[in-house]
Structure 1
Amino acid sequence: MPAVSADLSKRLVPGELWRVAAPLLPSFAARPQGGGTAPRDQRAVFTAVVYVLTSGCAGRHLPPTFGAASGGAGRTGVRGAGDRAPVAR
Structure 2
Amino acid sequence: MPLPDPIPHIRGTRGRPRHRPKRLFADRGYDYDKYRRLIRARGITPKIARKGTAHGSGPGKTRRVVERTFARLHRFERLRIRHEIRADLHLGLLQLACSIICLRRLRTSF
Q: What TM-score, normalized to structure 2?
A: 0.28
* Higher CA-based Rg: 2
Q: What TM-score, normalized to structure 1?
A: 0.32
Q: Which has the higher contact order (CA 8 A, sep 6+)?
A: 1
Normalized per residue, which structure has more helix?
Answer: 1
Normalized per residue, which structure has more strand?
Answer: 2
